[in-house]
Structure 1
Amino acid sequence: MEFKFTAEEEKFRVELREFLTKELPDGWTGGGEEEGDDWDFELEMRKKLADKGWLTMAWPEEYGGSGASHMMQLVFAEEMAYQRAPGRDQFGTKMLAPTLMIHGTEEQKREYLPPIARGEVQWCQGYSEPESGSDLASLQTRAVEDGDDFVVNGTKIWTSNAHHADHVMVLTRTDPDAPKHRGISFLLADMKQPGVEVRPIINMANNHSFNMVVFDDVRVPKRNLVGELNRGWYVGATLLDFERSGVEYSAGTKRTLEELIQFCKDNSRNGRRLIDDPKISRKLADLTVKTEISRLISYQIAWMQSAGLVPNKESSMGKSFGTELQQAVARAGMEILGLYGQLEPDSKHSPLQGRIEQSYMMSVSATIAAGTSEIQRNIIATRGLGLPR
């Protein structure tokens, strides 16, 4: 079977590539492994993408979209990831928005979706806590009803882009006596209000993306409850399905792999090109095949979304396969580059601008964030294969 995009989709891909060639600086290879390395440029690109209607192409028109196909949106996501281009608030466009379209009220959709489509806001995700990571349902951040509001107290951690965010989607415990999956509610909160404190966390790649967020008597209007009270676990799980899906895994990996292959063609060791070493060439060929597999899993997920389906086990398949592939490519790159691969981007001797070193360290957490590979395999086993718990 041969998979092809439509003529319209291919035309859009060319248009997007031309736009990025024009807008990105000459010689652009990416601003780093984390979003927000240059926040002003991030926001500038976001506004330009929004003005073209590309951030939310597949959304309904009444919420700021253009009613385009999900495959068209996939083309956009794939090219943006491959070019390592800034401008997307994936927390808003990829995660919150489709969740609101399923679980949100009409008032919530009309309040929160258009600003995302216009590129005016940044969202972050308040899920993990210092004592609640993989066992997310054990979270202890409390929301207590007080008149027309909830009063939120607690701490979230590993909150990416919280230092830039305007709003946060936060899971809170609203019934401490209920079974842990049943006493959780999903709230939308303003990050700029009194009582919200953001503390930076610098990761081992020396990047600032993560943060700890402390809520101290933060008031959230009851109208910002998404879904039913104490049934927020199911809203949060829907969001995770959208978070785990995406062509970004394969597209970003493909770019890194292509750069590594070209490096092996251009450089020699002991009088022989690296690419002519059969161990290296076989490794790169195997990773190329796996990258295409990851890509096709993402295409299947996009097709499911176009059919109005919420990918579940498929998202877990794509996430586990894609993130483990990221680690495999980074590890292969470090092995091929040798000691030079350990040099940081600011070293004049670092090959590939230190990207392999950065990828190697950043990919350590890839199989942990958004649910560990073990959790993904449990989902695939129980919900996909029907195996007992």
Structure 2
Amino acid sequence: MDFTYPPEILAFQREVRAFIQDHWDDEVMDVRREGMAQLVDTPKRREFMKAMAAQGWLGMSWPTEYGGGGMDGMYEYVLNEELAAVGAPYIGKGVGIVGKTLIRHGSEELKQEFLPQILNAEIEFAIGYTEPNAGSDLAALSMRAVRDEENGGWRLTGQKRFTTSAHFAEWYWLIARTDPDAGSKHKGTTLFLLPMDQDGIQVTNMPTLGDERVNEVFLDDVFVPDRYVVGEVGKGFYYVSEALDFERFTLFTVSAYVKRYEVFRDWVRTAEVDGRPLRDDPRARQVVARLATAVEVAKVHTLRTIAKAAAGEVPNIEAAMFKLWTCQLGQQVSDAMLELAGPTGVLRRGSPDAPVDGRFEHALRYTVVDTVGAGTNEVQRNIIARRGLGLPVNNGV
């Protein structure tokens, strides 16, 4: 298999790099955010996304009939990797989760309303899946959507948590239980879109170990008209499962992990421990070599996922393998740095003796966010075991 980029992809990569340099802003590009630049919202960030939209880079792999570029998914992959490498926000939820799901399952009315706004970077979404008692087991969700026949819609009541972007997003993409008597917890759930600024929605800050803001969102009798039901009533879990496959490789890139590894490798080259060069330590050299190999494996996992998506298929197993491997890689790099650095490795940013200004202490805390978003590591292992290896599944689980 040839892992080199074809000439047209290399040309696009150079174009993206030139664009980044032309639009460089320290407020927008910050590698210390460890690939989570999409969790912040500033006027400059919105301007940067608008500039990308003007290039036609949002929705490049969407069908042309919906305003997309009809291009190979490799272009989106290269774009995201280059953005992640400099800590810039990338195409994310609107293009990779909401847009692709609407194209596959949404009504024409929803497509006409939302797809142009996504392509023009005019809208931000929050994703409402996780609940206090429905995290790894999303099918256990309890948020209720009760039919309102008189007004032609649904009334939603319940709580979501760990919702990123809810404090600045314009629209909420969330799943609720519409039929508690469906017989299976995977059935009887429905996917909705609703504006975040309406009465009955309360957003509360939930700080994380990685210093990023996520949110709890409380809904109290919030009305959603039928036109904002995504797909068929009762099939929400299946749509969300598919959307998560797209999320796992549109919000989690390899570049952020590669850059973290390169910073660690370069530190090993120059650091001293107990007065001796760390690069001469056999244990340190072994760790660097092992992680270098893991980085290359992560790149191949990504390419397999992109190839599946580019072929018009849902990269279910491939995305789970990619997400699991890269999240573990991020933890392994941070663990290795702190282990080799010794006591000074746990010093935080701004501490005079902190190696690499405390980046790896921060990165280790950040990996908690990585291992939860888009499904925990345990969820990824279950997907691989059941759908990839064909291991038995208990009915009703």
Please state how far the C-alpha of 1:246 moved relative to its aligned partner: 4.5
Whether 1:10 and 2:10 are equivalent positions in the alignment is yes
Q: Deviations over 1:319-376 (max 9, x none)?
A: 1111111111111121123223222224344332332111100112433332222222
Q: 1:58 to 1:89 in 2, by over 3 A?
A: closer
- Using the alignment, how far apart are the partners of 2:43 and 2:227 within structure 1? 32
Q: Could you say which residue in structure 1 is the equivalent of 2:289? A: 285
Structural mapping, 1:316-331, within 5 Å: 316-331=320-335
* Structure 2 counterpart of 1:121, one-letter code: I
Query: What secondary structure is seen at the aligned counterpart in 1 of 2:197?
Result: coil
Q: 1:31 to 1:268 in 2, by over 3 A?
A: closer
Please state how far the C-alpha of 1:50 moved relative to its aligned partner: 1.1
- Matched-pair contact (CA < 8 Å) for 1:81–1:248: no
Please state how far the C-alpha of 1:140 moved relative to its aligned partner: 0.9
* Structure 1 counterpart of 2:118, one-letter code: I
Bigger shift: residues 19-28 or 292-301? 19-28
* Structure 1 counterpart of 2:304, one-letter code: Q
- Using the alignment, how far apart are the partners of 2:83 and 2:171 within structure 1? 24
Q: Could you say which residue in structure 2 is the equivalent of 1:207? A: 212
* Structure 1 counterpart of 2:6, one-letter code: T
- Matched-pair contact (CA < 8 Å) for 1:31–1:37: no
User: Could you tell me which of 261, 264, 287 is aligned with 1:260?
Assistant: 264
Query: What secondary structure is seen at the aligned counterpart in 2 of 1:241?
Result: helix
- Using the alignment, how far apart are the partners of 2:381 and 2:64 within structure 1? 37
Q: Could you say which residue in structure 2 is the equivalent of 1:182? A: 187
- Using the alignment, how far apart are the partners of 1:339 and 1:186 within structure 2? 48
Q: Deviations over 1:117-144 (max 9, x none)?
A: 1111111110011121112111111111
What RMSD over aligned residues (CA atoms) do the two structures have, in Å? Answer: 1.9
- Matched-pair contact (CA < 8 Å) for 2:136–2:378: no
Please state how far the C-alpha of 1:89 moved relative to its aligned partner: 5.0
- Using the alignment, how far apart are the partners of 1:17 and 1:59 within structure 2? 23
Whether 1:384 and 2:393 are equivalent positions in the alignment is no
Q: 1:134 to 1:54 in 2, by over 3 A?
A: same
* Structure 2 counterpart of 1:190, one-letter code: P
* Structure 2 counterpart of 1:21, one-letter code: Q
Please state how far the C-alpha of 1:247 moved relative to its aligned partner: 8.2
Q: Could you say which residue in structure 1 is the equivalent of 2:128? A: 126
- Matched-pair contact (CA < 8 Å) for 1:77–1:248: no
Structural mapping, 1:303-342, within 5 Å: 303-342=307-346
Q: Could you say which residue in structure 2 is the equivalent of 1:166? A: 170
- Matched-pair contact (CA < 8 Å) for 1:74–1:302: yes
Bigger shift: residues 270-279 or 307-316? 270-279
Q: 1:344 to 1:39 in 2, by over 3 A?
A: farther
* Structure 1 counterpart of 2:80, one-letter code: A
- Matched-pair contact (CA < 8 Å) for 1:55–1:93: yes
- Structure 1 segments, 4+ long, off by >4 Å, are 26-29
User: Could you tell me which of 367, 374, 384 is aligned with 2:371?
Assistant: 367
Query: What secondary structure is seen at the aligned counterpart in 2 of 1:157?
Result: strand
* Structure 2 counterpart of 1:164, one-letter code: F
* Structure 1 counterpart of 2:99, one-letter code: A
Aligned-residue sequence identity (percent) comes to 37
Structural mapping, 1:213-292, within 5 Å: 213-246=217-250, 248-292=252-296
- Using the alignment, how far apart are the partners of 1:38 and 1:125 within structure 2? 16
Query: What secondary structure is seen at the aligned counterpart in 2 of 1:158?
Result: strand
- Matched-pair contact (CA < 8 Å) for 2:60–2:69: yes
- Using the alignment, how far apart are the partners of 2:124 and 2:266 within structure 1? 36
Q: Could you say which residue in structure 2 is the equivalent of 1:191? A: 196
* Structure 2 counterpart of 1:188, one-letter code: L
Q: Could you say which residue in structure 1 is the equivalent of 2:43? A: 40
* Structure 1 counterpart of 2:144, one-letter code: R
- Matched-pair contact (CA < 8 Å) for 2:32–2:359: no
- Matched-pair contact (CA < 8 Å) for 1:157–1:212: yes
The TM-score with structure 2 as length reference comes to 0.92
* Structure 1 counterpart of 2:159, one-letter code: T
- Matched-pair contact (CA < 8 Å) for 2:143–2:177: yes
Q: Deviations over 1:140-198 (max 9, x none)?
A: 11111213121111110000111011111111010111121111001111111111110
Q: Deviations over 1:196-235 (max 9, x none)?
A: 1100011123332x10001111111111111211111111
Q: Could you say which residue in structure 2 is the equivalent of 1:20? A: 20
Q: 1:17 to 1:232 in 2, by over 3 A?
A: same
- Matched-pair contact (CA < 8 Å) for 1:78–1:247: no
Please state how far the C-alpha of 1:281 moved relative to its aligned partner: 1.5
- Using the alignment, how far apart are the partners of 1:180 and 1:207 within structure 2? 32
User: Could you tell me which of 88, 94, 97 is aligned with 1:95?
Assistant: 97
Q: Deviations over 1:261-284 (max 9, x none)?
A: 111212222343222222112111
Q: Number of matched residues?
A: 387
Bigger shift: residues 256-265 or 340-349? 340-349
Q: Which structure 2 segments of 5+ residues have no match? A: none
- Matched-pair contact (CA < 8 Å) for 1:205–1:361: yes
Q: Which structure 1 segments of 5+ residues have no match? A: none
The TM-score with structure 1 as length reference comes to 0.94
Whether 1:105 and 2:110 are equivalent positions in the alignment is no
Please state how far the C-alpha of 1:25 moved relative to its aligned partner: 3.6
Please state how far the C-alpha of 1:299 moved relative to its aligned partner: 0.7
